[in-house]
Amino acid sequence: MHIKDLCTKCDHWTITTIIHDGETATFTCTHCKNEFDLPWDTNTRYLIRSIRHSLKKRTKKYPELLNLKHEGQGIKIQEKASDPTA
């Protein structure tokens, strides 16, 4: 599966691929190829859901995230001043 996430290694918004074998989930940043593993458990599945959920909000705030469509792309977004209504 794919998620859009901010890679802590290259500091770009990228497509992250997640592959799991039922025990371990491997997250790979398609931009810098940084990889890390997490156990494929309830916490990890919850983490993926919450990343997906917060992305909707973020995409509203940062429409440039809509341009992120292909593996390998990396987008830098300027953090906007936090919206007090958010």
Judged by beta carbon, residue 29 or residue 68, the one nearer Zn ion is: 29
Spatial CB neighbours of 66, under 8 Å, sequence gap ≥ 6:
59
How many residues sit in the footprint of Zn ion (CB under 5 A)?
Answer: 7
Cα 62 to Cα 45: distance, rounded to the nearest angstrom: 25
d(CA 27, CA 17): 6
Q: How far is the CB of 19 from Zn ion (least distance, A)?
A: 16
Minimum distance, C-beta of residue 84 to Zn ion, in the bound complex (Å): 31
What residues between 16 and 75 interact with Zn ion by CB under 5 A?
29, 31-32, 34
Considering the rule CB under 5 A, would residue 15 count as an interface residue with Zn ion?
no
Residue type for position 6: L
What's the rounded Cα separation, in Å, for the pair 37 and 32?
A: 16
Contact residues for Zn ion, defined by CB under 5 A: 7, 9-10, 29, 31-32, 34
